[in-house]
Amino acid sequence: MSEIRSVGVVGAGQMGSGIAQLAAVNGLQVWLLDSDSAAVSKAHQSISSRIQSLVSKDLLTKEKGAEAVRNLRFTSSLEDFRSVDIVIEAIVESEEVKKKLFVQLDNIVKDSAILASNTSSISITRIASATRRPSQVIGMHFMNPPPVMKLVEIIRGATTSDNTFNATKSLAERFGKKVICSQDYSGFIVNRILMPMINEAFHALYTGVATKEDIDTGMKLGTNHPMGPLELADHIGLDVCLSIMKVLLNGLGDSKYSPCPLLVQYVDAGRLGRKSGVGVYTYSKI
């Protein structure tokens, strides 16, 4: 396809709003959608604030900042995606929910449009199978938060075309990202390695190897990680970590991917991390 000029982003949470910001700052027309009007309003405010911060720090000119704000539109209707060149989905990490969305998108967007998923673990081939355009479905996994993290993980499904891959890779590079490519296996590259480490940290806490503080300090100072694995789990969301571990277990069939009982218990108790105010650690809710 020709150069991507317009983007639809589904999901106005931290990931979706960050992706929308990236696209707007890099000169693309952007529709950001969420069914929750409060989430849309919050995203509008946060993106505008972050763009203004970039301008105040001289990382973006006033003119480019104003242009980026003009590039952004907000909606609660998928019908507004009819003319976009690519849709990037950043919703809940559920195969069933994603497939349902992709069926809807397939019936709305133009024939040439690419459908990309920001999934961090779910099979692109299976998501693509719900559509009539599997060759135009691809994984485009941004790291959190998208405007800051330098990596994008691209995953081709079984029938993803070269044109789809090349256009998606070019878009990620236009965003200033380093691209890595993964085969379509559960967890891909980053979470295939990261989530078992987080899960093992929970096992260490669960079995009394050490305190949460010492586990995190050990990994920060002993392996030069910027954040300990338990602290990172709280940042990601314990429910997200549990979901990915279940995908790894089901997709790869190895018991080593079984979620730690403590992780399961915390999620059952609503201890989801920063977003709920308590996870492994307790946070002051602002």
Residue 284 confidence class, pLDDT cut points 50, 70, 90: confident
Sheet holding 178-182, edge to edge: 72-75, 29-33, 6-10, 86-89, 114-117, 137-142, 151-156, 178-182
Establish whether 52 is an annotated binding residue. Answer: no
Region 58-78: what's the mean pLDDT?
A: 95
Confidence band (pLDDT; 50, 70, 90) for 1? low
Cα–Cα distance between 40 and 191 in angstroms, integer? 28
pLDDT at residue 122, rounded to an integer: 94
Please return the burial class of 181, using the count of CB atoms within 10 Å of its CB with bins 0-12, 13-18 and 19+: middle
Confidence of residue 197 (pLDDT cuts 50, 70, 90): very high
| Average pLDDT, rounded, for the chain | 96
Domains (range + CATH), the chain: 6-183 (3.40.50.720), 191-274 (1.10.1040.10)
Residue 34 assigned to a binding site: yes
Residues annotated as catalytic are 120, 141, 153, 191
Average pLDDT score over residue span 172-200? 97
Q: What is the pTM of this model?
A: 0.90
79 is in an annotated binding site: no
Alpha-carbon dihedral 211, 214, 216, 221, rounded to 10 degrees: -170
Confidence of residue 3 (pLDDT cuts 50, 70, 90): confident
Residue 49 backbone zone (phi > 0: left; psi -120 to 50: alpha; other: beta): alpha
Q: pLDDT (tens digit, 9 = 90+) per residue, 99-109?
A: 999 999 999 99
pLDDT of residue 2: 64
pLDDT digits (tens, 9 = 90+) for 224-270: 999 999 999 999 999 999 999 999 999 999 999 999 999 999 999 99
Whether residue 286 has pLDDT greater than 60: no
Q: Is 98 part of any known ligand binding site? A: yes
Rounded average pLDDT over 141-155: 96
Q: For residue 113, what pLDDT is reported?
A: 98
